[in-house]
Amino acid sequence: MDTLIKVLVKENFAPERILPDAPMSRYTTFRVGGKADVLVNIASAKEISIALTAARKAGVPVTVIGNGSNLIVRDGGIRGLVLRICGSFSEIQRDGDVITAQSGALISACAQFALREGLDGLAELAGIPGTIGGGVIMNAGSYGGELSQVVTRVDAVSFHTGEPRTYTGDALGFGYRTSALMHEDIVVTGVTMQLRTGDPDAIRARMDDLARQRREKQPLEYPSAGSTFKRPEGLFAAKLIDDCGLRGMRIGGAQVSAKHAGFIVNTGDATAEDILNLMAIVRKRVLDDTGVLLDPEVRILGEDA
Ligand SMILES: Cc1cc2nc3c(=O)[nH]c(=O)nc-3n(C[C@H](O)[C@H](O)[C@H](O)COP(=O)(O)OP(=O)(O)OC[C@H]3O[C@@H](n4cnc5c(N)ncnc54)[C@H](O)[C@@H]3O)c2cc1C
């Protein structure tokens, strides 16, 4: 990793944002995961380009993360370079009813921006704790809204060549909690959304109401990655898990939430292994008892310890 760090420094990447042996538990909402060899906090498009060039020169693999709110990083951590794009590189601009956000902007910040501008289309998504970059990869959605309903264009760069790429229409390949972008080796840099003029008071009231519903129903007091499994067609993962008597089940510090069986939570000292073992037991029991195979919604990265 020394070569990688040397190239980053030589190319003027801000040294304070190059973090060797970065504990991924600090960069994921589940608060688990081993160390990344090197993590860089990205603040500009130029830095994305420098980081990708440095990784190519050093011959190390690249992983991109946003807010880490849909991730389980295994306990052995991540080899190579992690580009973290969250919080910085987060400008949002308006042009008529269209807004364009840099990929590090939080979905909540995009929704607040739209509200201030009197634009509707993101109110249902305001409580999703990810970035807009991670959001388009996952086609994040809630309460009947989904990014696919508003996203018209995604700008990205290729891991391998650093070339810019633009995705529109069918090339976005959006489906339920998935997109074609998920299978491309790209860094999402910008997301363009077509919104519509709305009544700010009505938008704010809907956002407040949905935030209240989240607080009431979801175990937000514990670290998690949101819904562990996707919703099987016509069914609810949480109900299936509950009906199998798994609510509250624990392995180590991981627990099927007693408040919402669709969430696995970290009660304090969970390891990624605890969470993955609990997921495996839940999947097997639900399959044995109901015949339904649950598909994980969370993305799993890194190596075992
Ligand atoms: C309490 C809680 C509630 C949640 N509620 C919801 C919900 O209602 N609906 C919902 O859909 N999700 C929900 N989630 C899950 C999560 O917030 C979403 O999936 C979100 O879109 C992930 O964004 P992120 O920035 O955290 O991405 P990460 O988790 O960091 O990454 C997700 C995926 O995107 C990739 N990625 C991230 N950024 C980029 C980028 N710039 N370029 C290329 N690839 C990138 C990563 O490699 C990874 O494969 C919830 C999570 C929590 C903790």
pLDDT in tens, 117-153: 999 999 999 999 999 999 999 999 999 999 999 999 9
Q: Measured between alpha carbons, how far is 29 from 65 in angstroms, rounded to an integer?
A: 12
> Does the structural domain 2-84 have CATH classification 1.10.1050.10?
no
**Cβ of 154 less than 6 Å from ligand 1:** no
pLDDT tens readout for residues 232-272: 999 999 999 999 999 999 999 999 999 999 999 999 999 99
DSSP 182-207: GGS-EEEEEEEEE-EE--HHHHHHHH
pLDDT tens readout for residues 90-121: 999 999 999 999 999 999 999 999 999 999 99
CATH architecture of 92-202: 2-Layer Sandwich (3.30)
Distance 69 CA to ligand 1 centre (A): 5
Strands 263-266 and 254-256: antiparallel
Report the pLDDT value the prediction gives residue 123, as an integer from 0 to 100. 98
Q: Is 263 exposed, middle or buried (0-12, 13-18, 19+ CB in 10 A)?
A: buried
**272 near 32, Cβ under 8 Å?**
yes
Domain 219-301: give its CATH code: 3.90.78.10
**110 near 149, Cβ under 8 Å?**
no
Nearest atom (ligand 1) to Cα of 70: 29
Q: Where are the domains of the chain?
A: 2-84, 92-202, 219-301
Residue predicted with more confidence, 199 or 161: 199
Instruction: Please state, for a pLDDT cut of 70, what percent of the chain lies above it.
Output: 100
**Cβ of 66 less than 6 Å from ligand 1:** yes
Strands 254-256 and 250-251: antiparallel
Ligand 1 test: best mutation among 30, 62, 88, 137, most atoms within 8 Å of CB? 137
Q: Is 297 a catalytic residue?
A: yes
Task: Select which of 227, 231, 273, 283 is catalytic.
Answer: 227
Ligand 1 test: best mutation among 138, 148, 181, most atoms within 8 Å of CB? 138
Q: What is the mean pLDDT of residues 161-188?
A: 96
By residue count, the chain amounts to 305
